[in-house]
Structure 1
Amino acid sequence: MPPSQGPLIPRRRLGHELRKLREAAGLQLVDAARRLECSPSKVSRLENGQGLPKLRDVRDLLDLYEVRDHRLRTRLQGLATASQDEGWWSDHPEAWPPNLGSYISLESAASEMLSFSGFGIYGLAQIPKYCWEVFRNNFPDAPDSEIDQLVEIRGRRQRYVLNRLGELKITAVIDECALHRVVDSADTMRKQLDNLIDFAEHDGVDLRIFPYSTGYSLGIQCNYVIFTFDNDTDQDTVYQELSGGDRFSAQETEVKKYRNIFTNLLSRCPDHKSSLDLIEKVKRTNYE
């Protein structure tokens, strides 16, 4: 059984459908708000996937929009119920990174992910010992038990994503500096680079290394992921890992900007096979 997608994806899908139904009925936000006895901003948030949909409100809106199709009503009410689901990760440790729940929701439903990792190995390819050391340094005040939980959560995500390959495509660019930066020990790095190569050999994964010799690129300023979807309901979204805090944007102009940045970055990388050869070279030179 696939993992729960949490509330984000069902809320987005429900909001998209409700907006289409309202517009098809020729009604304004104020008309829907009057029916729900609330402000138009609440209906707007609901349509944007930001509000918490109550089943009663969804039924009232479907009645207002004169939706008679039983299957459609059932599906949309099911989305309203699913929007209450906090996801399998809801029982998370105190050190839980902000917005990680939303990230996992997007990851669980995307058809393609384009990612750049600048300072460390791509998260979905990290081995537990490497991952533990990263989390320990990111959350220095957290007890070891919470770090263990975070590592377990990442491992679970890795398994889910690997099971989705085929319906999911991953193109990941890693800066060469991540291969040289020793995390934990040389032995850990050797095992980590072996695992990175194993990860890259899965069908549906295109791994590239952005080498030192290529120089500078706008695309290496921060870590980011572009989530894309193969339907008209879900919005493509860019996630940025910034020093001032993580940020998500589903604005078309923002997503397009980062897609162009990533496309340019990818064009300056060696191909998949040459990138794996570079990983092997760094491993032999630095860690054997």
Structure 2
Amino acid sequence: MTWSPGPVVTRRRLGGELKRLREGLNYKLEDVARSLDCSPSKISRLENGKGVPRWRDVRDMLDVYRVPDGEERERLLEWARTGRARTWWSDYADVLAPDMALYVEYEWDAARIDAYEAHIVHGLLQTRDYARGALRSFWGRTLGPTQIERLVEVRIRRQDALKEDHGLTFRCVLDESTLYRVVDSADVLAGQVEHLIRIAEAEHVDIRVLPFSAGLVPASRESFSKLQFSAGIEHGLVYVERPIAGEFLAGRDDIAVHDTRMAALVEASLPEDQSVPLMKRALRRIGDA
């Protein structure tokens, strides 16, 4: 499998190179802004990967930094083009909350994700019916059927990241309760568990269950995802689910804490070859209920 950076990571890589070039000449943000007749905040946003780069702006910055024609200049200008690429999730801006839209961007660009889900099956692993039931439960009072259905479409399209040629490696620890918590109906839950059993066969997907027998594991208090990137975001990011809006953590200490949490969850969970039989037992119990 091969991983290639998308717009988000490319912007970060481009921004890092532009900052390196500026600092190499001992230029301040104000110096560059004055040369380009723009605000220092615009330059700062580009360097932090938060602004959508315009090819012309990057070209002019490279002129200010005296980067000659050649391989380096062409590479940076190509990154400017890639960083402006339209993404499929842009079509869902009317229903995606800002924090989730940003998460989808990072998820799509990630080379590896390690996740823990305490209450429901992770979005990358959900069936269409399960996703619809979960979204109705959470947002049915504030969103109409059409909006719910568009969010279901987002959730299913996100799963293209699990296609082998996309290059994502995904490991997810699911609390055993997720195998029994009815979402929409017992039939929908059964279909979801069957899907988990099937997708666990993929070599780049590792699904583990944190069993009831593990007891109270301190690391299992809240769901989170650790996203790692092959380039552009050196230490990765952590996304923690919150009741109102999710939170992104990028500090080294925060990353280290969640790395420790994930290690503890993996140690307490069953390996996949033991988790799949547990899923099959859950499926039989759902059928007997």
The two structures share one fold, judged by TM-score above 0.5: yes
Q: How do residues 1-288 of structure 1 correspond to structure 2 at under 5 angstroms?
A: 7-92=7-92, 94-140=94-140, 141-164=142-165, 167-231=167-231, 233-235=232-234, 236-288=236-288
CA displacement, residues 145-201 of structure 1 (integer Å, 9 cap, x when unaligned): 222222222222213422346x32111001111111011111111111010111111
Looking at structure 2, the residues matched to 126 and 142 of structure 1 have their Cα atoms a distance apart, in angstroms, of 20
Matched-pair contact (CA < 8 Å) for 1:240–1:246:
yes
Paired AA for residue 77 in structure 2:
Q
Deviates more, 1:76-85 or 1:255-264: 76-85
Looking at structure 2, the residues matched to 81 and 139 of structure 1 have their Cα atoms a distance apart, in angstroms, of 37
Q: Report the CA distance between 1:6 and its aligned residue.
A: 6.7
Matched-pair contact (CA < 8 Å) for 1:110–1:229:
yes
TM-score scaled by length of structure 1 = 0.89
CA displacement, residues 88-133 of structure 1 (integer Å, 9 cap, x when unaligned): 1212163323323322222222211100111101211111111111
Paired AA for residue 126 in structure 2:
Q
Paired AA for residue 242 in structure 2:
L
Looking at structure 2, the residues matched to 32 and 258 of structure 1 have their Cα atoms a distance apart, in angstroms, of 38
Deviates more, 1:112-121 or 1:54-63: 54-63
SS of 2:98's equivalent in the other structure is: coil
Looking at structure 2, the residues matched to 11 and 30 of structure 1 have their Cα atoms a distance apart, in angstroms, of 21
SS of 1:21's equivalent in the other structure is: helix
SS of 1:222's equivalent in the other structure is: coil
CA displacement, residues 43-81 of structure 1 (integer Å, 9 cap, x when unaligned): 222211123433332122211211114332233223223
Matched-pair contact (CA < 8 Å) for 1:115–1:173:
yes
Matched-pair contact (CA < 8 Å) for 2:30–2:40:
yes
Looking at structure 2, the residues matched to 254 and 69 of structure 1 have their Cα atoms a distance apart, in angstroms, of 41
Provide the aligned length of Structure 1 versus Structure 2: 284
Paired AA for residue 85 in structure 2:
D
SS of 2:170's equivalent in the other structure is: strand
Against the structure 1 CA distance between its residues 153 and 5, is the aligned structure 2 distance closer, same or farther, given a 3 Å change threshold?
farther
Paired AA for residue 241 in structure 1:
E
Matched-pair contact (CA < 8 Å) for 2:161–2:168:
no
Deviates more, 1:135-144 or 1:78-87: 78-87
How large is the Cα RMSD of the aligned pairs? 2.3
Which ranges in structure 2 are unaligned for 5 or more consecutive residues?
none
Which ranges in structure 1 are unaligned for 5 or more consecutive residues?
none
Paired AA for residue 200 in structure 1:
A
Looking at structure 2, the residues matched to 113 and 280 of structure 1 have their Cα atoms a distance apart, in angstroms, of 25
Paired AA for residue 233 in structure 2:
D
Q: Report the CA distance between 1:225 and its aligned residue.
A: 0.9
Matched-pair contact (CA < 8 Å) for 1:5–1:108:
no
Looking at structure 2, the residues matched to 239 and 17 of structure 1 have their Cα atoms a distance apart, in angstroms, of 26
CA displacement, residues 217-268 of structure 1 (integer Å, 9 cap, x when unaligned): 333222211111223x334111111124111233222222211111111111
Deviates more, 1:68-77 or 1:240-249: 68-77
Against the structure 1 CA distance between its residues 93 and 147, is the aligned structure 2 distance closer, same or farther, given a 3 Å change threshold?
farther
